[in-house]
Amino acid sequence: MTFERMTKAAVLGFLAMLLCSAQAMAQGWPERPIKWIIPYAAGGTSDTLTRIVGQKLGERLGQPIVIENKAGAGGNLGSDFVAKAPPDGYTLLLGNIGPMAVNRTLTKNLPYDPERDFVPISLLMAYGNVIMVNNDFEAKTLKDLLAYAKTNNVSYAGNGVGTSLHLTGEMLAKRAGIKLTHVPYRGGPPGLVDAMAGVVPMVIDPMSSSIPLVNGGKLRALAVTSPERSPLLPQVPTVAEQGLPGFEVTGWVGVLVPKGTPEPIVKRLVAEFTAIMQLPEIRKAVADMGSYVPPLGPEYFAKYIGSETARWKELITSANIKVE
């Protein structure tokens, strides 16, 4: 046998050994608690959903799901942690628009590649955002706000650079021909507190955390970014209704695992998340947050990430949005 053939045989043998090892690992999975990383601070919509779904997943798998919040760098910190985690099925990522679709354009030297380093499992939830202002702010409607911003600087709170909240403001500014200044916060609650206190006049936040504040009179809602009004805030018009036809921004969250995770584990996770998101109590919990369950499964999720990446790349490039 030639040296070349011996080398080829050794490589094939090594690959076969790795395959057998991965299959054996998958057969016994899970044997210990599973970490589910949220790349943002606790208390937001993503955090709430993850804890509800995580409990169901733990019950079905027979192992605890440990939720860990690793906030920082617009979601990049937690996402990079998962990208570099062992691909053994014991680390999940809650991915959303920022780390998965926006930051590859927005962030120089991104430490991970959303397409190369992850395997999408499924979208879990989608939702519109709400544009709100402090009760003492002079704008009573979105048209008032846009007119005011023509001659005045308006800052708005959003949970990090590159999130759907940040980009809602950027898209609004571009479409209306105004200047809005984004003030990034590490999570939604701090920005909401500052908006209620008047530290910033305006805040953009997901539907779920906005509903009690609007209905409780803590903030004034000017518009929702979904294509239709929310049944939970029927009095609040869409952006499209108020002079910007076709305007739509939808936030979304999904679950991913590190690339290289054994296929049997991936398939098991796909099956479990698909079943969980179709449970009546989960769908009700999602609806109660002013959200909805989008199409499920890895194929749709992968295509959706691709389409979102292209859409937001166009906005970031044309508006010359940069990370300060």
pLDDT at residue 20 in the model? 43
How do residues 301-323 score in pLDDT, each as one tens digit? 999 999 999 999 999 998 888 77
Q: Which residues contact 69 (CB under 8 A, 6 or more apart)?
A: 38, 40, 41, 42, 47, 78
- First-to-final CA distance of the chain: 60
Asked if residue 4 has pLDDT above 60, the reply is: no
Model confidence band, residue 186 (pLDDT cutoffs 50, 70, 90): confident
User: Which of 88-92, 161-165, 167-171 reaches the highest mean pLDDT?
Assistant: 88-92
Q: What is the mean pLDDT of residues 87-101?
A: 96
How do residues 254-263 score in pLDDT, each as one tens digit? 999 999 999 9
In 3-state terms, the chain is what percent helix, strand and coil (to 5)? Answer: 45, 20, 35
pLDDT at residue 23 in the model? 53
How do residues 262-271 score in pLDDT, each as one tens digit? 999 999 999 9
pLDDT at residue 187 in the model? 75
pLDDT at residue 10 in the model? 46
pLDDT at residue 2 in the model? 54
pLDDT at residue 16 in the model? 45
Asked if residue 324 has pLDDT above 70, the reply is: no
Asked if residue 160 has pLDDT above 80, the reply is: no
The whole-angstrom distance between residue 163's C-alpha and the CA centroid of its chain comes to 7
- Please name each of the domains of the chain with its CATH number: 26-127+251-318 (3.40.190.150), 128-242 (3.40.190.10)
Asked if residue 125 has pLDDT above 80, the reply is: yes
The tokens describing 107, both together, are: 């962030």
How do residues 195-220 score in pLDDT, each as one tens digit? 999 999 999 999 988 999 999 999 99
Whether 248 contacts 225, CB under 8 Å:
yes
Number of helical H runs and strand E runs in the chain: 12, 10
Asked if residue 66 has pLDDT above 70, the reply is: yes
More confident residue, 19 or 127: 127
E strand intervals along the chain: 34-38, 65-69, 91-96, 118-133, 154-158, 180-184, 202-206, 220-224, 250-258, 291-292
How do residues 235-257 score in pLDDT, each as one tens digit? 999 999 999 999 999 999 999 99
To the nearest 10°, the Cα dihedral for 68, 72, 73, 77? -30
Q: What is the mean pLDDT of residues 71-76?
A: 86
| One-letter identity of residue 106 | L
User: How high is the mean pLDDT of the chain?
Assistant: 91
